[in-house]
Structure 1
Amino acid sequence: MKKETARPVILSASRVTDIPAFYMPWFLNRLKEGYSVRINPYNGKRQCLSYEKTRIVVFWSKNPAPLLSAIHTLEERGLGFYLHFTLNDYEQEGWEPGLPSLKKRMQDFRDLSVRLGKERVIWRFDPLILSPLLSFSELARRIMSIGEELVSLTDRLVISFLDISPYKSVIHRLKKGGFPLRTPTEEEEAEFIDLLSRLQCKWKDVNPSFSISLCAERDWESRGIEPARCIDGDLLKKLYPYDSALQDYLKKARKDPSQRPLCRCIESRDIGAYGTCRFACIYCYARFTRVPLLKEDFTKESLSDMIKNTGKKESL
């Protein structure tokens, strides 16, 4: 590996693909080898990431069931980790094709919470989407229904609103497919926030540690909903107080400069690749054309030093 190799303390796995769902064999192999490679999506250059100093992995997934069988290996290697589990209910609309049933995902959430503890499994309902097919009241009902089941299994719910305005490929995809998704209006956002504030108060009676926060959204603290820190130094201080190397790092950790201005995450390095998630959610900014699910691809990928995109960029 070259001298300019980065040695991150925190790995993000991953904001742009689903590593627990599709690439756990690859990731475990990279842990064994001690490094991975990523192509910078902006300049096309190879980036080498050494795991020499890595203490924490933050997983992001819509189907993290494969993580259950990897927990022992991660713990044996002395790695701390927690999980953002995006558990939406857009089954009826078909906006997240390829996912297991809602019932199966909720059972996986329970299993992971029991195994890891409720403070290490974070529930995301992300993004909140409205359309002629899905009214405000129905979306609110679905959030409440899932929340009643999960509130004792997690300490956090993280929410964001759909925002496709920066992503021309997403706008084109939705128009081409006839999907009339839309971002909530300011009035609807305020109504959602008031609902979330009431739910937070209600669910704290069941789990006093429970909170709801907003990911990279404008400030709604005056209405009782705080901004999220998805890669959260305070949470890591609480989870791993005896990891001296991690605690020393957290004392000087800064806001991640590679994220959006309203993001509150501390710095990490993402090990994923655009265009490699196989769920093909219709609103996703990180997808290309749908990547075929081929068993032989998984075998090849697990031996590579990087997650490789086998799809093509969507034409505009």
Structure 2
Amino acid sequence: MIINTGQRTDIPAFYPKWLANRFKEQVVCVRNPFNKEQVSRYRLSPETVDVVGFCSKNPAPFFEYMDLVKEYGQYWFVTITPYGRDIEPHVPDKHKILEDFRTLSTMVGINSIGWRYDPILVNERYTVEYHLKAFEQMAAALSGYTQTVVISFIDLYEKVKRNYPQARAVSREDKHYLGKEIIKIAKTYGMVVKPCGEGQFLSEYGADCSGCMTIATYEKAIGQKLIVPNKKPARKECACYLSGDIGAYDSCGHLCRYCYANNDIEAVKRNMKLNDPNSPFLIGNYNETDVIHDVEMKSYIDNQLSFF
């Protein structure tokens, strides 16, 4: 089984104690975001959870609890972008995150961590030239600590348009030029660029367009072959294998302007206050009307084949 922590919120950054308690108690409950009374309950046993996928802009708050997940396969994506507080109002200092990335890499290993430089947006302040300079500085700082960097260009979802009305789509010309130059820089520092949900157009410049959070990514991280059930992608452009997300929408305190997971800032504030580190739910607790579904948990590892 694969458990994902990061498509709906940043759990390591804002809820590290809650996450630690979930691994201690080996149980977590998740509300269906479209039907609140429908609850999926997962048993977090190392015997059945093969990989835990983490996505964070600030992994350091969870460092003190890393021993709790040492028996689990792990893959971490850490997002580090060049934006200031006008775009990412509550993301910590980027120099600190670069340092924390290196620390995390030494904990989990180079095959279990990737850098996300996304989404890329272009405006008067964050120009094409600005991005290339910032990307090279960051790539130099992370050289030897990861072999993967994921990029994508801003998607103008309705939530994004509402929360960041000044946002503009990146032009085709800028996408090609930025992609080509970023791929060159990344190669210099020992990294492969993996575009996220961008189709195949960057493959001609040397990008790996097979997806970012794929089964192959997980297999390389844990050194095991996985046999997984067929699963439809979240969107047609996405090749990632996303399952068992234990997060909740409208609960990420970074409040990035481009975020697709936060719909209502006031709801974020309310939900963050409702987090109880001892509850099996990220937000709130059991309700009398809940319909609990215990998810069938089994290992996907192919014991006939291991990678060395």
Calculate the TM-score normalised by the size of structure 1: 0.81
Map 1:1-316 → 2, pairs under 5 A: 9-51=1-43, 52=45, 53-75=48-70, 78-91=71-84, 94-164=86-156, 167-175=157-165, 180-204=166-190, 210-219=191-200, 220-241=202-223, 247=225, 250-254=226-230, 256-287=231-262, 288-290=264-266, 291-292=268-269, 297=273, 300-308=275-283
Distance 2:62 2:160 in 1: 29
Structure 1 runs of 4+ off > 3 angstroms?
290-295
Aligned residue number for residue 3 of structure 1: none
CA deviation map 1:236-257 (0-9, x unaligned): 3233236xxxx4xx23443x42
CA deviation map 1:142-181 (0-9, x unaligned): 11111111122111000010011xx323212223xxxx32
Relative contact order higher in (CA < 8 Å, ≥ 6 apart): 2
**Unaligned 5+ residue runs, structure 2?**
285-308
Distance 2:21 2:38 in 1: 19
Distance 1:229 1:49 in 2: 28
**What secondary structure, in the 3-state scheme, does the structure 2 residue paired with 1:188 have?**
helix
Contact 1:11/1:269 (<8 A) preserved: yes
How far 1:202 moved relative to its partner?
1.9
Quote the RMSD (CA, aligned, Å): 2.2
Contact 1:14/1:270 (<8 A) preserved: yes
CA deviation map 1:47-100 (0-9, x unaligned): 22322522210000000002221211111xx21112100011102x52111111
Distance 2:248 2:82 in 1: 25
**Unaligned 5+ residue runs, structure 1?**
1-8, 205-209, 310-316
Distance 1:68 1:123 in 2: 17
How far 1:233 moved relative to its partner?
1.8
**Which structure's residues are more often helix, by fraction?**
1
Distance 2:223 2:144 in 1: 24
**What secondary structure, in the 3-state scheme, does the structure 2 residue paired with 1:196 have?**
helix
**What secondary structure, in the 3-state scheme, does the structure 2 residue paired with 1:270 have?**
coil
**2:77 aligned partner, one-letter code:** H
Distance 2:67 2:124 in 1: 45
| % same residue | 27
**Cα distance, 1:197–1:301 mapped onto 2, change above 3 Å:** same
Contact 1:37/1:46 (<8 A) preserved: no
**What secondary structure, in the 3-state scheme, does the structure 1 residue paired with 2:252 have?**
coil
Distance 1:101 1:112 in 2: 17
